[in-house]
Amino acid sequence: DLPFSIICGPCQLESLDHARMLAERIAEACAATGTGFIFKGSYDKANRSSLQGKRGLGADKGLEILSKIKDEFGVPVITDVHEPSHCAMAAEFVDILQIPAFLCRQTDLLLAAGETGLAINVKKGQFLAPWDMQNVAAKVASTGNERIMLCERGTSFGYNTLVSDFRGLPTMAETGYPVVFDATHSVQQPGGNGTSTGGDRRMVPPLARAAVAVGVAALFIETHEDPDNAPSDGPNMVRIEDLQPLLAKLRAIDTIQKG
């Protein structure tokens, strides 16, 4: 088993300075706790609840920022892609491509991502069972690229609510691919705020501890210095100052779980 890692960063990339500031503080928290660090940032939020939601910096600026963070901090970087034609472009700048949950059945996107040869983190659709991800992974693997990660991010449970079914983690692990738990989007309340998505960041630490106790390769957590004023997913992001103590506990649980 590899050392415990987090995929961490803001929801949206806001500026190079902002990304640098967060990357520095995340790197400190990871170093202090022996946690691996993969920097995450989105350059385009292509499926906001409403048109009023901010879309992001766009591919040019966003990918440049990710590339600089990668060089300056010496960490792998990940971003999400929404159309087949974006995969090759993004692949020139990042180490891992992420397939959004809503798009996890779009064959062309999975194939285009797989063909880049990068590692691919596929989020499980809110509408899919854990065992259905085998077919999703097979689409990527058909390109000859087996560097696949499967990511749980909550399942539809009534309206405007997701539930994290932790049985899904060992079930997805039966594919042989590493499993990631997204502790940020799992606490979303989709559409819960009328024209935006709500959530409850207080639930991130307990669900993160649960996931690590069940057993995961990595944890996906979004963080921000001022989540309540972040351009997206504010209700779900962890305050940057809360990250290190959370990681310390997660690391200790991970050691027991894998021990």
Chain residues binding its own copies by CB under 8 A are 46-51, 55, 82-84, 102-103, 105-108, 125-132, 135, 138-139, 142, 155-161, 163-167, 169-170, 187, 190-191, 195, 200, 202-203, 206-207, 209-215, 249, 252-253, 256-257
Nearest distance, CB of residue 39 and its own copies, angstroms:
25
| Adjacent-strand bridge partners of 210 | none
Q: Which is nearer to its own copies, 42 or 126 (CB)?
A: 126
- Residue 150: what residue type? L
Q: Which is nearer to its own copies, 75 or 187 (CB)?
A: 187
Nearest distance, CB of residue 85 and its own copies, angstroms:
8
Q: Which two tokens stand for residue 206?
A: 């307990």
Nearest distance, CB of residue 157 and its own copies, angstroms:
5
Q: Which is nearer to its own copies, 3 or 71 (CB)?
A: 3
Q: Which is nearer to its own copies, 56 or 227 (CB)?
A: 56
Pairing of strands 155-156, 148-152: unpaired
- Note the Cα 176 to chain centre separation in Å: 19
Q: Which two tokens stand for residue 241?
A: 């100052």
Nearest distance, CB of residue 53 and its own copies, angstroms:
9
Crossing angle of helices 84-91 and 59-73, rounded to 10°:
30
* CB environment 193-222: b (16+ within 10 A), e (fewer): eeebbbbebeebbebbbebbebbbbbbbbb
DSSP state of 240: G
Max Cα separation, the chain?
48
Q: Which is nearer to its own copies, 50 or 72 (CB)?
A: 50
Nearest distance, CB of residue 163 and its own copies, angstroms:
5
